[in-house]
Structure 1
Amino acid sequence: MLQNTFQHIPGIGPKTERRLWDSGIPDWRSAGDLPTSRLPLKQADVFLRCLDESARALEDGNPRFFTDLMPAGLHWRLFPEFRRCIAYLDIETTGMDVWGSEITTIALYDGREVKTYVQGRNLEAFIDDIEASHLIVTYNGKVFDVPFIERYFRVRLNHSHIDLRHVLKRLGYGGGLKACERALGIDRGSLHGVDGFFAVLLWHDYIRNGNPRALETLLAYNIEDVVNLETLMVTAYNLNIRGTPYEASHKLAPPSMPHLPFQPDPLTIAQVRRSMFSGAMPFG
């Protein structure tokens, strides 16, 4: 869909883009045949120059060129072309306050391999690994995950970023990541009902009680988030191309499930859940 996009060109909005499609100019390549005499001289020059720059940016694998020019509501259009350099990203923390909490685990998924990072083990390795990706996909990551990471590690993540919270909300899906998953038919199985607060309790169970199954369950939950982000990204992309001339030709197949290195422990989940309801937190 990116190569069918003209809205990153100054002066071109959705109506002009649609008129280009309807007049037989479906993509950048065909735009070379556009009679520039139909455009004011200055606009024609900008149009052709931006198309040349777009082709070079795509060839160079530079999503930032497009996200800097394109309305944020259209960033989903980058997905297929930059799918090989994406990082689906999610963090877990000791609390929801960016300034008063710490990162406990991070899950990273590139569509092929899952990587996990744990405080006290290999958390610092995340910074080097994230540099291999050019485009980040999160849910609410622009508000939470990325600012948290930048403060915690004292770094700047300059990656292009698709935040699915905003993409899905424009499609009518809101209420948080788990609510979007349920509405779109994603089943978390034994992790149903486990949320961010539950993840905090799992970390404390691991730290205070030395329960390795609590950490494994936490990592399984963290991984579920990033793996499901790919499914949500594909779904959002397919929903967004509905009503365009490319609905049939550009539709993406559902992603395959990767190998999951950790599995949730039902007994640990039940124990933490009982403690929550009884008021006795499993902190030792």
Structure 2
Amino acid sequence: MRIENSFIPVEGVGETTERRLWGEGVTTWEAFDPAADVAGVGPTTADRIESFIAEALTHLDDGDAAYFDRTFPSGERWRLYENFREGTCFFDIETTGLDEHRDRVTTVSFHRDGETTTLVAGDDLTADRLREQFADADLLATFNGARFDVPFLESSFDIEIDTPHLDLMYPCRRVGLSGGLKPIETEIGIDRDRPDLSGRDAVRLWRQYERGDEDALDHLVSYNREDTENLRTLADVVCERLHEDVFVGDAPGR
């Protein structure tokens, strides 16, 4: 589903009215006719839709993901993904624990446009390198990053991460995928090279590396990179399921 299929950012247009528009064949902004007779769309709402489309088209042409991040309801942020897929930065962090004020970030991996970069504490994991990664992204994608990864990085490195953010945990729940990332991966058929490793192992591997075991760091980086790269597949699967449930299911044949 693309941004251009959406009318829900408009004041006075909720899920029901949006479905009515789709049901009448108004499945894109281009197809909207303010004179059309659609239940729930009176003259005032029609004017608002027209104004929104005119403004939104300009921002879409400019590739302004932040505009749509502000205007779409938070629960509908997944609709930005198809338009900004190529500019999406998937990222995941590993830490020595769960307390952002006491524990350390050990590795951070970023996956974008087919390339994966990993920053390591004590080497190249710095505030400036983190800012560089986030500054070039249209959209961030994580799993539980809104509650964990983002605040942990902001607290640990005194940075502000204000790039539009799609936390995939919430779209997953909408399509019935609950629990942690690893069980969800298994459920949708994502295979791992080391399915036996967990977050606890990530902490153990870092401690081993601190004691001089270079192989442990290699295993940790591999684990972190796999977490990050798998987010791309997860986003593709979940957003496609939501497309089928939300859009195609209400507009047969489209």
Task: Tell me the equivalent position of 1:99.
Answer: 101
Which residues of 2 match residues 31-42 of structure 1 at below 5 A? 31=32, 33-35=33-35, 39-42=41-44
Deviation by residue 1:17-58 (Cα, 9 ceiling, x = unmatched):
111111121101111x23178744433332211111111111
Separation in 2, partners of 1:222, 1:127 = 19
Report how far residue 249 of structure 1 moved. 8.7
* 1:161 and 2:162 are equivalent in the alignment: no
* 1:111 and 2:113 are equivalent in the alignment: yes
Contact 1:25 1:34 in 2 (8 A): no
Contact 2:87 2:113 in 1 (8 A): no
Task: Tell me the equivalent position of 1:57.
Answer: 59
Q: For 1:159, what is the secondary structure of its paired residue?
A: coil
Task: Tell me the equivalent position of 1:149.
Answer: 153
Q: For 2:119, what is the secondary structure of its paired residue?
A: strand
Q: For 2:244, what is the secondary structure of its paired residue?
A: coil
Contact 1:93 1:102 in 2 (8 A): yes
Which residues of 2 match residues 178-189 of structure 1 at below 5 A? 178-189=182-193
Which residues of 2 match residues 1-284 of structure 1 at below 5 A? 1=1, 2-31=3-32, 33-35=33-35, 39-124=41-126, 125-189=129-193, 191-208=194-211, 210-243=212-245, 244-245=247-248
Separation in 1, partners of 2:252, 2:244 = 9
What 5-or-longer segments of structure 1 have no aligned partner? 251-284
Identity of aligned residues (%): 35
Separation in 2, partners of 1:127, 1:25 = 41
Contact 1:36 1:44 in 2 (8 A): no
Separation in 2, partners of 1:115, 1:155 = 19
Q: For 1:47, what is the secondary structure of its paired residue?
A: helix
Task: Tell me the equivalent position of 1:274.
Answer: none
Which amino acid in the other structure matches residue 46 of structure 2? A
Which amino acid in the other structure matches residue 69 of structure 1? T
Contact 1:111 1:230 in 2 (8 A): no
Contact 2:6 2:28 in 1 (8 A): yes
TM-score of the superposed pair, with normalisation by structure 2: 0.91
Would the alpha carbon gap of residues 117 and 4 (structure 1) be closer, same or farther in structure 2, given more than 3 Å must change?
same
Report how far residue 126 of structure 1 moved. 2.2
Deviation by residue 1:68-103 (Cα, 9 ceiling, x = unmatched):
222222211111110121100100111111111111
TM-score of the superposed pair, with normalisation by structure 1: 0.82
How much is the aligned-residue C-alpha RMSD, in angstroms?
Answer: 1.9
Which amino acid in the other structure matches residue 7 of structure 1? I
Separation in 2, partners of 1:228, 1:197 = 19
Contact 2:93 2:149 in 1 (8 A): yes
What 5-or-longer segments of structure 2 have no aligned partner? none
Separation in 1, partners of 2:77, 2:133 = 23
Equivalent residues, number = 247
